[in-house]
Amino acid sequence: MGAKPVMLVTGAGRGIGAAVAKLAAARGYDLVLTWRHGQAAAEATAAACREAGATVELIQADAGDPAANARCFAALDSRFGRLDALVANAGITGPASDFLDSTDATWAEVFRVNVLGLAATCREASRRMATGHGGRGGGIVALSSRAAEIGSAFEFIHYAATKGAVDSMVAGLSKELAGQGIRVNAVAPGMIDTDIHASAGIPERIGRIVPNIPLRRMGTPEEVAEVVLFLLSPASAYVTGAILPVGGGR
């Protein structure tokens, strides 16, 4: 078991999660990376991290599945025996729709992954990092969204509601875990240049929203990753309970 710090990044196969993993590898972390869909992309992310010097454990896991969550942490314990940072990035939008056309199934699935999955992952990670449980302390960064404040009317109210829950969880956990040596923060991205919009079935959304962004462009996954790594670094040692918007002013 090495002396390098260990980070768990959920949903690390592509997009923001992949960018976080690659930057963390470059900054000296060993990594446990999970992915749900897109094996080739996940393996490419893991390969890039290894090339940067990281030891990587790559695990297929649905963030909202308790059995998969248990397998993930068992693999972490076996491979590294420690955890120093969690980036809880895994999440889904569900299909875009007006609220009146949304279904119970969509609401249940998005909450299962984005809220219940997040809670389970944070709980298991905290048990390993908490100084009162023999851990070294550490940091958690959850991926929220500007949707939590904006509300995403006519498209993603179900998704926005889950990110509001993420913000509430971060507020509570930051207080409860501070005495255990764990800082808990969130990053709230806005329009980021990933495939999430096309995956939700509305690729044209980009053209509608970008003109309303004060910086007049989408952000990049790498720009979000820089903020995530800042929140896990000694440079932010007095920051906990923060929800930092990365939305170009929107």
> Given this model, what pLDDT does residue 119 score?
98
Instruction: Tell me whether strands 85-88 and 56-60 are parallel, antiparallel or unpaired.
Output: unpaired
Looking at the chain, the whole-number percentage of residues with pLDDT higher than 70 is 96
Query: Could you tell me which residue, 202 or 56, shows the higher pLDDT?
Result: 56
Q: How confident is the model at residue 198 (pLDDT cuts 50, 70, 90)?
A: low
What is the distance between the alpha carbons of residues 159 and 15, in angstroms, rounded to a whole number?
18
Query: Could you tell me which residue, 102 or 204, shows the higher pLDDT?
Result: 102
What is the distance between the alpha carbons of residues 174 and 164, in angstroms, rounded to a whole number?
16
Average pLDDT value for residue range 184-196: 90
Angle (nearest 5°) at CA 249 between 93 and 229: 70
Q: Does residue 1 lie within any of the structural domains?
A: no
What are the tens digits of pLDDT across the range 205-228?
Answer: 777 788 889 998 999 999 999 999
Angle (nearest 5°) at CA 201 between 44 and 149: 90
Averaged pLDDT of the chain = 94
Structural domain of 135: 6-246
* CATH code: domain of residue 67: 3.40.50.720
Q: Does residue 168 lie within any of the structural domains?
A: yes
Q: Does residue 37 lie within any of the structural domains?
A: yes
Instruction: Tell me whether strands 138-143 and 182-189 are parallel, antiparallel or unpaired.
Output: parallel
Q: At which residue do the structure tokens 């454990």 appear?
A: 57
* Nearest alpha carbon to residue 213 among 246, 180, 166: 246
Longest Cα separation, the chain:
53
Q: At which residue do the structure tokens 């199934």 appear?
A: 105
What are the tens digits of pLDDT across the range 134-169?
Answer: 999 999 999 999 999 999 999 999 999 999 999 999
What is the distance between the alpha carbons of residues 1 and 70, in angstroms, rounded to a whole number?
21
What are the tens digits of pLDDT across the range 164-178?
Answer: 999 999 999 999 999
What are the tens digits of pLDDT across the range 48-84?
Answer: 999 999 999 999 999 999 999 999 999 999 999 999 9
Catalytic site residues?
A: 159
DSSP string for the chain? --SS-EEEESS-SSHHHHHHHHHHHHTT-EEEEEESS-HHHHHHHHHHHHHTT--EEEEE--TT-HHHHHHHHHHHHHHTS---EEEE----------GGG--HHHHHHHHIIIIIHHHHHHHHHHHHH-GGGT---EEEEEE--THHHH--TTT-HHHHHHHHHHHHHHHHHHHHHGGGTEEEEEEEE-SBSSSHHHHTT-TTHHHHHGGGSTTSS-B-HHHHHHHHHHHTSGGGTT--S-EEEESTT-
Q: Does residue 116 lie within any of the structural domains?
A: yes
Total of domains in the chain? 1
> Given this model, what pLDDT does residue 201 score?
60
Residue 14 has pLDDT above 70, yes or no: yes
Positive or negative, the Cα torsion across 134, 139, 145, 146?
positive
> Given this model, what pLDDT does residue 200 score?
60
> Given this model, what pLDDT does residue 1 score?
46
> Given this model, what pLDDT does residue 210 score?
87
